[in-house]
Structure 1
Amino acid sequence: MTLTPPEVPTVRLRGRYLAPDKTPLAGTVSFAPPSVLTLPASDVISTTAAKVTLDSMGAFEVDLIPTDVPGMSPSRWSYQVTEKLKGVPPRIFHIMLPGGTGPVDLADIAPVSPYAGNYLPVAGPQGAKGDQGEPGEVTSEQLDALEARVAPRPQEYTQTSALAEWTIPHTMPYRPAVNVYDVSGREIGGSVEYPTPTTVLVRFAFAETGSAVLH
C-alpha cells in the first residue's frame, strides 16, 4: 500500500495480528505523525494519519515517511500508533521509523510493558488444602502502594503556558504511553521521548497548551 508520491522517501512497515488460538484478528491500525509534517525538499506537507485495514490473514503492509528525513520539520518526532482490533481493547503507543532500512515488522519495534496487555489465564490442577494462617494486618497506605506498583493508574498533566516542548514528570515503573490533547479536547500528535526514567518529553512543531494522559 503506497500513500506517498515517488519522490518522498518511505519505509515499508508490515505487521500481523493473531489471537492466542492463531485466529487472524480484524480491525484497523493508524499511524499519526505530528499535526503538521513538512518536507521542503519534496514540496510535501502531511497533516493526516495513515490508516490500514487488516486483511483476511490479520496482516497489513504500508509505506510510511521515515521519522529522520533530513530537512523535515519537525526534525525529531514519532508516529502515534492506534490499534483498534475487534474484541480487543484499543491500544496507543509511539514508534520511531528511521529511513534507509528494509521492510520493518511492527512486532519488532512496538513497546511491550509487563503491566499492560491481554493475558490468557490457564488453570492448573487444584492442590491440597493447607492450614489456615494467622490473620495479618495491612494498612490502607500499604494496599494503595501495592496497587500502584501492580496496576499504575493513568496520570494526568496540564500545560497552561504555550510551549513547543512539554516536560512531564511521572511515577510509573515503565515508559508510559502518552495521549496529548489541546485546550478544546482534540487529540494532537507530538514527538515523545524519555530523557529519564521519570520524565517524558513531548515536542511539537508549534507552541501548544493543553493536557496529557500517561498510561
Structure 2
Amino acid sequence: MTPTPDLFHELPAGVPSVRLTGRFIAPDGTPLTGKITFAPPMVVTMPDADTIANTVATVEITKEDAGRFEVNLIATDAPGMSPSGWTYLVTEKLAGAQMRQYHIMLPQRLGSDGVDLADLAPASPYSGRYLPVVGPTGATGAQGAPGEVSRAELAALEERVAPRAVTWSQGSASPLWTIPHDFPYLPAVRTYDTSGREIGGLVDNPDPTTVTVQFAFAETGSAILS
C-alpha cells in the first residue's frame, strides 16, 4: 500500500489529522487491488499552522495488502482553515469493479481512534433485474362517462405534476455549478463531464429555485435535473 507521503507520514505541527482505514474484497472474499484517491478542494490553507494543502492523497492497494489500506488525512474541520466545512471527494478505482465517487467528511474528533471507510461510504442501491409476477386478468368494467377536461388541460396538469427532466450545461470550468430551475420541488441532480462520464459532486439547495454542485476541481459538462 503506497499512500501519498506528505499526507500519511508526518503532518506539520498544529494540523489535526484522522487515520482512515478500509478493506475491499469481492463477494467471494478475494482481496481487491487498485487505487483510492482523496481529493480536498483545490487548495486548503491553514494559516494557524503556516501550511497549504494541495493536490490529492493517493493509496495504492496491491496483492500484498490483502485488500486493506490505511492513510492519515488532514481533518476537514481544522481550526482556521479555509475553506471550512469541506469534504473529500473519494474516487475508488479497483480492478474488476466499476469506478465509484462520493464525498466524506473527516472531523478531527475521529482522529484519536480513526474511522473505517465502510462507516462513511454510501451503499449503492440494487440495480439488477426484477421478475414481475403477473396475476390473472380481471373482468372488463363498464365504460365511464366522458370527462370535461380537454387534452390541453390534461397536458398542463401533467406538466405541473410530473415536470420533464431538464438538461443544463456548464460551459466554463468551475468547481461550483449554480443551476437555476423552476421545478415545484427539490429536483434530483446527476452531473456528467464533457465525455459523458458521470461525476460526483456535493449537491445543495440554497433556495427553492437554485441547485448548486460543489466539485473538488473545476469541471465542465452538464447536469440533468428531474
TM over 0.5: yes
Residue matched to 2:146 = none
Q: Per-residue deviation at 1:36?
A: 1.0
Q: Per-residue deviation at 1:67?
A: 0.9
Matched AA of 1:37:
V
Unaligned runs of 5+ in 2: 139-164
| SS of structure 1 residue aligned to 2:109 | coil
Matched AA of 1:194:
D
Matched AA of 1:114:
P
Residue matched to 1:24 = 31
Residues 112 and 212 (structure 1), Cα distance of their counterparts in 2 relative to 1, 3 Å cut: farther
Q: Assess if the C-alpha contact under 8 Å between 2:192 and 2:222 holds in 1.
A: yes
Matched, 1:87 2:96: yes
1:87-129 deviations in whole A, cap 9, x for unaligned? 011111111111122211111111224156xx6x8xxxxxxxx
Residues 80 and 205 (structure 1), Cα distance of their counterparts in 2 relative to 1, 3 Å cut: closer
Matched AA of 1:64:
L
| SS of structure 1 residue aligned to 2:76 | coil
Residue matched to 2:73 = 64
| SS of structure 1 residue aligned to 2:108 | coil
Residue matched to 2:42 = 35
Matched, 1:5 2:5: no
Residues 35 and 60 (structure 1), Cα distance of their counterparts in 2 relative to 1, 3 Å cut: same
CA distance in structure 2 between the partners assigned to 1:24 and 1:160 by the alignment: 41
Residues 167 and 71 (structure 1), Cα distance of their counterparts in 2 relative to 1, 3 Å cut: same
Q: Assess if the C-alpha contact under 8 Å between 1:74 and 1:205 holds in 2.
A: no
1:161-191 deviations in whole A, cap 9, x for unaligned? 898753446743xxx675678xxx9xxx998
* Number of residues of Structure 1 aligned to a counterpart in Structure 2: 177
- Bigger Rg, structure 1 or 2: 2
Residues 213 and 31 (structure 1), Cα distance of their counterparts in 2 relative to 1, 3 Å cut: farther
Residues 132 and 98 (structure 1), Cα distance of their counterparts in 2 relative to 1, 3 Å cut: same
Residue matched to 1:48 = 55
Extract structure 1 runs of 4+ deviating beyond 2 A: 3-6, 130-134, 155-172, 176-181, 189-206, 208-215
Residue matched to 2:119 = 108
